[in-house]
Structure 1
Amino acid sequence: MSLDDKHVAILVEDGYQELELHYPRLRMLEAGLRVSVVGAGKPEYASAKGYTVKADVSADAIDANDVDALIIPGGMAPDKMRRHRAMVDLVRAVHARDRPVAWICHGGWMAVSADILRGRRATSFHSIRDDMVNAGADWRDEEVVQDGNLISSRTPDDLPAFCRALLEKVG
């Protein structure tokens, strides 16, 4: 199966961090993957700075069996994402299929809510370290941490390594 046959879903909610959504989205498109922006039910979402992005599909309408990798950008959006059962269920279902689940910054909150961190190495923005550790993660302060199908990074500065790791895992 070529990268052209792969489908990457990117979660979105209001308050998303611009670079953490658009940089991976563009890198995945550039590599030839099909990319869907997955929202909580609204047609459009605003970033922390007011930039908007349109959702391609709602989390309750996407089939996890059609997702080859899932990206969770940070900002304050993950705190809103985890209030939507369909979004949390999608993270859990993609993880259960052993497909890559990748997050950056505060995106780790979705991994906490999906209960997929126990006994796994991961990273995040430093301010949610305690949440990650309390959810069972072996938290590391590294630009990218891979543990099986989980890929995580800390901040926008880590995006090049984050995208390389995800593309390698998907390919």
Structure 2
Amino acid sequence: MAGMLEGRRVGLFVADLFEDIEAYYPYYRLAEEGAHVTVVGPSARSYQGKRGMTMEADAALEDIGSWDFGALVLPGGYAPDHLRRHQRLLDLVAEADQADKPIAAICHAGWVLVSAGILKKRRVTGFWSIRDDLVNAGAEYEDSDVVRDGNLITSRYPNDLGAFCRTLIEALSQ
């Protein structure tokens, strides 16, 4: 039985110290709906999560383009602080935003959105400790389990993963 996301391609971005459940929960939930999820890292290697799990990157940032994916997923943890140092990822996020593709960021992944320069006049949420970063980047912060502003989907932390994934699946189904 085909899932509602059959044929959809999603890029999930990791680096060392990603929040394990924020990467694995969307990975399996999207795959369950039939999406082809490609794990992307700064290089194609294994990455260590904050809680001890590992995730193998299928591709390196330099090997992919925004056209490869219908949506981008950015898990939290400390990985977003490392990922946002890669101009290639910031360019991919900005291109995906301009193309109105879903971009889903949870917890500290809002840092990538800040560095990509896509938050002016956007409604978002994120982990409370990066609220000032989001607001200073021009966003309107909302303390909700999930906030969808057009193609941009954000959540605060692991407890919000259900709402985060439901909203992402809905956006990809349209």
TM-score range, shorter chain: over 0.9
User: Is 2:5–2:30's contact at 8 Å kept on the other side of the alignment?
Assistant: no
Alignment correspondent of 1:108: 110
1:102-122 Cα deviation digits (max 9, x unpaired): 100000000000000000000
The answer to whether 1:53 aligns with 2:55 is yes
User: Is 2:44–2:58's contact at 8 Å kept on the other side of the alignment?
Assistant: no
Give the percent of matched residue pairs that are identical in Structure 1 and Structure 2. Answer: 48
Aligned 1:29-48 pairs, distance under 5 A? 29-48=31-50
Unaligned runs of 5+ in 2: none
Alignment correspondent of 1:88: 90
Return the match for 2:149 from 147, 150, 157.
147
In the TM superposition, residue 63 of structure 1 has moved relative to its aligned partner by 1.8
What secondary structure sits across from 1:89 in the alignment?
helix
CA distance in structure 1 between the partners assigned to 2:112 and 2:75 by the alignment: 10
Instruction: Look up the equivalent residue of 2:147 and give its one-letter code.
Output: V
TM-score (norm 1): 0.97
The answer to whether 1:118 aligns with 2:120 is yes
Cα root mean square deviation, aligned: 0.9
What secondary structure sits across from 1:4 in the alignment?
coil
User: Is 1:59–1:90's contact at 8 Å kept on the other side of the alignment?
Assistant: no
CA distance in structure 1 between the partners assigned to 2:62 and 2:98 by the alignment: 17
The answer to whether 1:6 aligns with 2:23 is no
CA distance in structure 1 between the partners assigned to 2:24 and 2:167 by the alignment: 17
Aligned 1:118-137 pairs, distance under 5 A? 118-137=120-139
Q: Deviation above 2 Å: which 4+ runs of structure 1?
A: none
Matched residue count: 170
What secondary structure sits across from 1:3 in the alignment?
coil
1:9-62 Cα deviation digits (max 9, x unpaired): 000000100010000000000000000001001411101123211001111111
TM-score (norm 2): 0.95
Unaligned runs of 5+ in 1: none
